Amino acid sequence: MKLTLGAAAVVAVAFSSAAAHAQDVEHFTNIEKAVEAAKKGKKDILVDFTGSDWCGWCIKLTEEVFATEEWKKAASDKYVFVELDFPQAKKQTEEEKKYNREKQALYGIQGFPTILVLNSDGRLYARTGYEAGGPENYLKHLAGFSARKAELTKGLAAVKEGKPADRAKALAALLDKLAEWEVDGGYRDLKEQMVELDVKSDAGRKFAKELALAYHQEGAEEKFKKYLKLLKENDADGAEYVETAIAINKDVMPILESQDWKGGLEKLTPMLTKKGEAGQIVRFYAAICEVRQGNKDKAIDLLDAGAKMAPKTPLAKQMTDAILELKR
């Protein structure tokens, strides 16, 4: 059948629209569904934590990169896209809000925009944010993380082989690497494996504390009790740290949020008998209360004593840095 000029135009538009749609990047609002699509297409996953209607840099990144035709065409065969939105005016269901908050907590998202890069199995290997230069430069920026993906694959294979001691060693090395990349927040399952393999190691005790606090915050009581029990059996100081941190969060933080520094210090003072990491965190918050009341010398003494109680912790370094700042 011979097409008329009008019919040919309709067919051309139809094929053109289909081609354009096929070239677009698949979009999701759920990471698990994105993983299913990524596995089928052998693609990586970009997760965009965004404030779509208020965050200036988020809007800029969308306009300059994700909304452009150049991005859609070039990225369609490489990535699937997940938007986890935290808007101010845009309406969302309670289910959407809950899901997004859970993922924000899991991955330790503290600012917007944050872009996570996951492999097709949903394993996180990079995090980034806004980059100037448009879609071409952004694709080059993302491609710069490709070596990490290969290293991650190799590391994940290593933790599945050999004796428990060998697996624990490989797992600790992999988790150190993930922490160096600032992506270990997405690897709770590996941290649980580390605790199961060697809870008495430095890494095992560290992650048992982290998991206990995370599960308590999320209200997962059974898992919280499991890790607290493991700590009490294998790391009494660690268990006391977890219970002290929970007590401070419950009883002291509401007072400090109201800027009642005297009242906060009164709550903390009975806890100053604690040693180790527990004593360290008590002294950290007590020092804040003293500084806010103008007692700089007392704050320095608290920070100095606390830093010495557990000198290898990240909080110890933070306290040492605070001492230097206060002495200036």
Question: Per residue in 293-310, pLDDT tens?
Answer: 999 999 999 999 999 999
**Mean per-residue pLDDT, 82-107:** 95
Taking residues 101-110, report their average pLDDT.
93
pLDDT range class, residue 162, cuts 50, 70, 90: confident
- pLDDT tens-place string over residues 217-268: 999 999 999 999 999 999 999 999 999 999 999 999 999 999 999 999 999 9
Task: Report the C-alpha gap between 160 and 153 in whole angstroms.
Answer: 11
pLDDT grade, residue 23 (50/70/90)? low
Quick one: tokens of 173? 């090395």
- Asked whether residue 19 carries a pLDDT value surpassing 60, the answer given is no
What pLDDT score does 90 carry?
94
What is the predicted pLDDT for the residue at 239?
A: 97
With bands split at pLDDT 50, 70 and 90, how would you rate the model's confidence at 161? confident
* Residue 229 CA: distances (Å) to CA of 45, 210, 224, 247: 37, 14, 9, 17
pTM reported for the whole predicted model: 0.82
What is the CB neighbour count within 10 angstroms for residue 303? 28
Q: What is the mean pLDDT of residues 136-147?
A: 96
Supply the mean pLDDT for the chain.
Answer: 92
49-66 average pLDDT score: 97
Cβ contacts of 301-306, under 8 Å, gap ≥ 24 = 306/279, 306/280, 306/281, 306/282
Please, which pLDDT band fits residue 16 given cuts at 50, 70 and 90?
A: very low
Structure tokens at 2: 């011979």
> For the chain, what's the residue count?
328
Residue 18, pLDDT score: 37
Q: Which residues contact 289 (CB under 8 A, 6 or more apart)?
A: 256, 261, 262, 264, 265, 268
pLDDT for 21 beyond 50: no
pLDDT at 67: 96
Share of the chain above pLDDT 70, in %: 93
Average pLDDT over residues 172-185: 94
> What SS3 state is found at 273?
helix
DSSP result, 25-66: PPEES-HHHHHHHHHHHT-EEEEEEE-TTT-HHHHHHIIIII
pLDDT > 90 fraction of the chain, expressed in percent and rounded: 89
pLDDT at 12: 41
- Judge whether residue 5 has pLDDT over 80: no
Encode 188-257 in three state secondary structure. Answer: HHHHHHHHHHHCCCHHHHHHHHHHHHHHHHHCCHHHHHHHHHHHHHHCHHHHHHHHHHHHHHHHHHHHHH
pLDDT score of 10: 38
Residue 2, pLDDT > 80, answer no
Contact (Cβ atoms closer than 8 angstroms) between residue 247 and residue 254: no
Residue 228 CA to residue 247 CA, distance in Å, equals 14
pLDDT of residue 3: 37
